[in-house]
Amino acid sequence: MRQVLFFTHCFAAARSEKKMDSLQMSRYNPPLLKLISVISLVYFLYYLWWRITHTMNPNALLFSWGLFLAEAFGVFSYFLFAWMTRDISPLPSRIPSRDDLKVDIFVPTYNEDVDILEATLVGCRNVRYPHRTYLLDDGNRREVRDLADRLGAVYLARPTHEHAKAGNINYALKHTDSDFVAILDADMVPQPDYLDRTLGYFEDEQLALIQLPQEFYNQDSIQHSPDSPYWHEQALFFRVIQPGKNRSNSAFWCGSPSVVRRSALEEIGGVATETITEDIHTTVRLHSRGWKTLFVNEPLAYGIAPQTMEAFLLQRLRWAQGTMQLYRSKESPLWIRGLTWRQRLSYLSSFLAYFESFQKLILIFTPVLILTLGIFPMKVGISEFLIRWLPYFVLNILANQIGGRGVFQYFKTEKYNILKMIVFIESTFTLVWKKPLKFKVTPKSVDPSVYARETRALRLYMLITGVLAGSMLYGFAQIFSLSNWTLSYDAFFIALFWAGYNNFIILFALGEIFQKRHERKHNRFPVELSGKLYSEGDIYSSARVRVTDLSISGAGLVFERKTLQDYRNGNLILSLPGLHEISLPVKDIHYQKANESQSIRAGVSLNDPKGIAREQLFEYLFVNLPRSTSHTYYQVMEWDPIQALRHILQRMFSALRLT
């Protein structure tokens, strides 16, 4: 029977692939992509030639060269991006031809909340392909052992805790014997077809690992866009850049969610422990030994994105510092033996991404220096400058937009690049500072005290906005005081607009951060369910409700009729699609004002559900609930170049009005 179900599922999945017609494929590689990329690169090179031969200010050579190098760095970065993402076509599906492969799922944990682990283990239990799940606890916690026993996972704790996550995985490898290992972070909940959609690719005996996109179910996180929750700060990397790396066999391991061939890891001595980014370091070793890696562009697991700026910056700092550790080591992808030139170029692109922070710093403070020193870094008339710079600017955005397949969002990308700027600059000191670094786990839950620390951590950005505003006021004072001011009116207004634009982006970013406050411990999923609320106190009462959001500790309700009964210590009855009816104990209820239709909204907090009700609730929320990206392939946005250009210009003029 198991074989029948297995091959039935394979047949259904194979049929779904045939729906990918040529029109759909054009979303991944738009017809104008190569043409616009070539036109843009040719014009960028012309612009740089003109800048270096006609605009350098001999009275401020250091200033002039600094700005020129920042622009040249941007052109080189675009070249690497265009080359790497020239083809991001989805891979043909490879459903496994057999169901007897030995597979283990590893879930490493250190200090994550038990509720987070429970969701992941419920997801693992619902993975269809036969497997064993191992909970690798580096915290040696009794409650985690009990959780593993309850949900059918094997609990594994090592006696010593060296090398953090990498050491934890290596210890588990020595105590297991499967052919393949799926690795999931403690918060990363797999979908039922996680192994069905990945194991088939391993029929290529040279394939060492598969990396999947990191997607998140908490779409109100610090890295998600408030106006477009499906877009997040890592979207361009996972939807465009990583698929492009497949063409040069340079897609790298991001830790989770992934599937790894055991024999490949054993050949290189296990997971690398010399850096705090064990994933990319391990990938370099695999590539240097001739192994293949693959990025499968399907969201098959969902985790928790950083919910605070502190967690976001801590995670990015660890990634950046670990990358610097790798690139200064003897196994740097720049000089390790065994890599192809295409792989080196791809790794170089990922490495240089961290140095964009210096480019951003120069572009932020250039108008400050212009306004305070009265020196313009270019010796050129305003009309001569604008006639060349405006096509450069518009082509830059358009080329990135089409190369980013609509996932690239200019203002959102600018915002996050500025927010990451300081930690990325800090990380570059790791190239020369060889003090050992400690692996720090990204916080998965929110401590209310974090917001006070977060405000202090953002003081440097507030200082930058003050410097920008101060330079604008100083420039006004100088130009209207008729003092010995050498800056032309044209140069003054360019610098003024430039400083104002930079200030707008930073203030906009800070405003979004300060508006995001997470008071709930558990993520609320938007749902549309019907339910019944009842209380069995001295007086029995009940009411039909519509559930609009739901978590393991609370729910948002809309009453079908106006009622203000006290349902504390009552129960919320829900019929979950595809599952059983469950009863959830109500702890408290908070009514809100009636809306125009006279229905009443309320929020209920729930006592900890127990037994089957708890398991069914976890399964519904983290496994059965439809996802925004539940389609077979990870879609990029469908778009038209003319509409894209119109959208860009609209956003530019909107920004001008706001500044």
Query: Per-residue pLDDT tens for 551-596?
Result: 999 999 888 666 666 677 788 999 888 777 889 988 888 877 666 6
pLDDT of the residue at 627: 64
pLDDT of the residue at 632: 36
Q: Cβ neighbours of residue 409 under 8 Å, at least 6 residues apart?
A: 225, 228, 231
Give the residue with greater pLDDT, 27 vs 358: 358
**What are the extents of the domains in the chain?**
33-86+355-518+645-658, 103-308, 525-624
Give the residue with greater pLDDT, 637 vs 134: 134
Lowest mean pLDDT among 19-28, 127-136, 166-175: 19-28
Specify the DSSP class assigned to residue 635: P
Q: Cβ neighbours of residue 471 under 8 Å, at least 6 residues apart?
A: 367, 368, 371, 372, 499
Lowest mean pLDDT among 44-58, 108-122, 135-149, 563-577: 563-577
Confidence of residue 348 (pLDDT cuts 50, 70, 90): very high
pLDDT of the residue at 457: 75
- Reading the block at residue 464, the tokens are 């930058």
pLDDT of the residue at 389: 94
Q: List the one residue out of 232, 116, 104, 236 whose CA is nearest residue 178.
A: 104
CATH fold of 103-308 reads Spore Coat Polysaccharide Biosynthesis Protein SpsA; Chain A (3.90.550)
pLDDT of the residue at 157: 94
pLDDT of the residue at 318: 93
Confidence of residue 2 (pLDDT cuts 50, 70, 90): very low
The average pLDDT across 253-260 equals 96
Confidence of residue 646 (pLDDT cuts 50, 70, 90): low
Most confident range (mean pLDDT) of 87-91, 113-117, 407-411 is 113-117
The angle subtended at Cα 579 by Cα 574 and Cα 584, nearest 5°, is 30
Q: Is the dihedral of CA 366, 368, 370, 373 positive or negative?
A: negative
Rounded to whole angstroms, how far apart are CA atoms 484 and 286?
A: 63
Rounded to whole angstroms, how far apart are CA atoms 109 and 170?
A: 14
- Asked if 82 and 244 touch (Cβ cutoff 8 Å), the reply is no
CATH fold of 525-624 reads Thrombin, subunit H (2.40.10)
Rounded to whole angstroms, how far apart are CA atoms 392 and 390?
A: 5
The continuous run of DSSP H or E covering 215 comes out as: strand 215-216
Q: List the one residue out of 593, 536, 595 whose CA is nearest residue 566.
A: 536
Residue 25 pLDDT > 60, yes or no? no
**Per-chain mean pLDDT for the chain:** 86
Burial of 10 (0-12, 13-18, 19+ CB in 10 A): middle
pLDDT of the residue at 644: 53
Whole-Å CA distances, 353 to 66, 67, 241, 407: 18, 18, 12, 18
Residue 5 pLDDT > 60, yes or no? no
- 3-class secondary-structure state, position 64: helix
pLDDT of the residue at 268: 97
- Reading the block at residue 559, the tokens are 């009453």
Confidence of residue 41 (pLDDT cuts 50, 70, 90): very high
pLDDT of the residue at 274: 92
- Asked if 430 and 328 touch (Cβ cutoff 8 Å), the reply is yes
The average pLDDT across 164-181 equals 96
DSSP one-letter string for 270-306: SS--SSS-HHHHHHHHHHHTT-EEEE-----EEE---
pLDDT of the residue at 575: 86
Rounded to whole angstroms, how far apart are CA atoms 549 and 601?
A: 12
pLDDT in tens, 503-539: 999 999 998 888 877 777 888 999 999 888 887 655 4
Helical ranges in 175-277 per DSSP H = 235-236, 242-245, 262-267
pLDDT of the residue at 165: 94
The average pLDDT across 539-560 equals 83
pLDDT of the residue at 643: 57
Residue 13 pLDDT > 50, yes or no? no
Confidence of residue 3 (pLDDT cuts 50, 70, 90): very low
DSSP3 helix / strand / coil % (the chain, rounded to 5)? 50, 15, 35
Residue 541 pLDDT > 80, yes or no? no
pLDDT of the residue at 562: 62
